[in-house]
Structure 1
Amino acid sequence: MPFVQANSHRLNYADSHPDGAPANGHTIIFIHGLGSSQNYYYPVIPHLTEKHRCITVDTYGAARSPYTNDSVSIPGIADEIIGVLDALRVPKAIVVGHSMGGLVVTELGSRHANRVQGVVAIGPTHPSELLVTVMNKRSETVLEAGMEPMANAIPFAAVGSRSTALQKAFIRELLSGQDPKGYAALCRAIASAKASDYAAIQAPFLLIAGEEDKSASMEGCQHIFDHVSSQSKSLEVLTGVGHWHCIEAGDEVGGLIAKFANGVSL
């Protein structure tokens, strides 16, 4: 898999159409959540690549993008996504983010409106005191005990009633492959995150929530949705789905993103 230099970091990525998006199609860039990787999106990408260019990225410190002991912040991740687009000569893109990536895409939509054609937030995290406590505790845990405690707990605690044993195994593998120091740094980035200026988001906006999501509450998702200023926005709730939407309900999520992307003006 190739790497791209984005600002000061070397990021692993994949690109379905390296020569550019198909005619009348968009470029879509995907940002994963905590403890995940670009592979999280592979259940949904087949719904998109016939018409659109799909770029997936392992964020700094996650999966195959090496952690080099730099501090991490949500605005910094957003700036690096712009760096990826710059390096690949993409002037504008639809941005898709899950969980932590949801923080990033709302940041992109509010601060980099000239580069964003549309925003898809999947189980986006809204900053709260509880989130600060949870993330700081996780950071401490993995630095002491490695990724095993997360890999043994999250695949079972964070999914919905529809999830299968195979889906849980996939989530466990994503978590097991993380660098504990990189994971801890990303935990601290989430803990220190401030809510984006949701009202500044005017691009077409899609929020996908899980009915049984305990990590990104419906209350937080509704708050984000209600405060986005876009004249074209929609909220979709997936029945029986927890926090790992693209793994638990890949076909549904893929169909929703495809419908959204097909409706966004070039």
Structure 2
Amino acid sequence: MPYITVNQKRLHYADSNPAAEGQTYVFIHGLGSSQNYYGAVLPHLTPSTNRCIAIDTYGSGRSHYTGLEQSIDSIAQDIVKVMDALKVPKAVLVGHSMGGTVVLHLAARYPTRVVALVTIGPVHPTASTGQIFEKRIQIVSEDGMEPIANSVPRAATGSGSTPLQRAFIRELILGQSPEGYVSLCHVVSEATAPDYAAVKAPLLIIAGDEDKSAPLEGCKHILAHASSSTKTLEILQGVGHWHCIEASDEHVDTEYARWFNEQKITSSYYAFVGRR
């Protein structure tokens, strides 16, 4: 299993095609998840020509938590250091949920490292967000991961989700260490909104119309305040917060494929887009 050490953290990652001459994508998952969140969509990204790097963020999946404090900014710095170590000068950054917040922050702070952004159910931090995650911290600190694993797969998915999809989400959550999960809950709880006005890269926001964790109004706020000259909001019907699991195998939308071609980004990227 490949690991890389950056900023005193040993991070697990997958690198699909280091020698690829096409586009490079870097994938950042959300809270309670891992790089495996993207497992069903990576095959759509023409692996013979593109390079896909998916990272377990510190405290998640196989990137074990060792007690270091972290924040949205520290996670963004970790990503930049991973890109440096893997000799990736710039990439299309893909972030889900908390990972969406991270890549928006990264694009604002390190604009030269970003070709374009795809944020999937990005969390727009508010005061109420902090209150929600303070409750989770208490639950996990007292009872471990099982209460969250038993509630989130149904509460955070849409009406179109299947029992198999919910079972996979449950397994992702159960695979987290309580300490790492609590650390990342603090990250979300204490986060402030990225400097959206400093985000100038082409931006796609993918939202679920039944997403209660990253409500549509927050996605619209991000879209309105980003300075990107090209920006699009795509809404998936019947989908909650776990978009790449709930809607991973739908057709490629040709209208939005053209949008990405105009940005010189591979059209197969719209394997993410799902239901119209």
Range of TM-score over shorter length: over 0.9
Q: Specify the alignment match of 1:218 in structure 2.
A: 216
Contact 2:17 2:48 in 1 (8 A): no
Does structure 1 residue 111 correspond to structure 2 residue 115? no
Q: How does 1:73-88 map to 2 (within 5 A)?
A: 73-88=71-86
The match for 2:41 among 30, 41, 44 is 44
Q: How does 1:88-103 map to 2 (within 5 A)?
A: 88-103=86-101
Q: How does 1:47-66 map to 2 (within 5 A)?
A: 47-48=44-45, 49-66=47-64
Q: How does 1:224-263 map to 2 (within 5 A)?
A: 224-252=222-250, 259=257, 262-263=261-262
C-alpha RMSD of matched pairs (Å): 1.6
Q: Specify the alignment match of 2:3 in structure 1.
A: 3
Letter in 1 for 2:214: A
Pair 140,61 (structure 1): closer, same or farther in 2 beyond 3 Å: same
Letter in 2 for 1:143: S
- Superposed CA deviations along residues 109-146 of structure 1, whole A, max 9, x for unmatched, are 10010101101100000011111001111112111100
Contact 2:211 2:239 in 1 (8 A): yes
Identity of aligned residues (%): 56
Pair 181,90 (structure 1): closer, same or farther in 2 beyond 3 Å: same
Does structure 1 residue 28 correspond to structure 2 residue 20? no
- Superposed CA deviations along residues 198-256 of structure 1, whole A, max 9, x for unmatched, are 01111111000000000000110100011111111111000000000000001249769
Q: In structure 2, what is the Cα distance between the partners aligned to 1:254 and 1:44?
A: 11
Residues 41-50 or 26-35, more deviating: 41-50
TM-score (norm 1): 0.95
Q: In structure 1, what is the Cα distance between the partners aligned to 2:263 and 2:28?
A: 19
TM-score (norm 2): 0.91
Q: How does 1:188-203 map to 2 (within 5 A)?
A: 188-203=186-201
Contact 1:47 1:255 in 2 (8 A): no
Q: Specify the alignment match of 1:145 in structure 2.
A: 143
Deviation for aligned residue 1:154: 0.2
Unaligned runs of 5+ in 2: 266-276
Q: How many residues get paired?
A: 262
Structure 1 runs, 4 residues or longer, greater than 2 Å off: 251-256, 258-266
Q: In structure 2, what is the Cα distance between the partners aligned to 1:208 and 1:39?
A: 19
Q: Specify the alignment match of 1:265 in structure 2.
A: 264
Residues 150-159 or 244-253, more deviating: 244-253
Does structure 1 residue 154 correspond to structure 2 residue 167? no
Match of 1:199, SS state, is helix
Deviation for aligned residue 1:51: 3.5
Pair 253,208 (structure 1): closer, same or farther in 2 beyond 3 Å: farther
Letter in 1 for 2:197: A
Letter in 1 for 2:100: G
Letter in 1 for 2:58: Y
Q: In structure 1, what is the Cα distance between the partners aligned to 2:48 and 2:130?
A: 40
Higher relative contact order (CA 8 A, sep 6+): 1
Pair 254,44 (structure 1): closer, same or farther in 2 beyond 3 Å: farther
- Superposed CA deviations along residues 47-83 of structure 1, whole A, max 9, x for unmatched, are 1024321000000000100100111100000000001
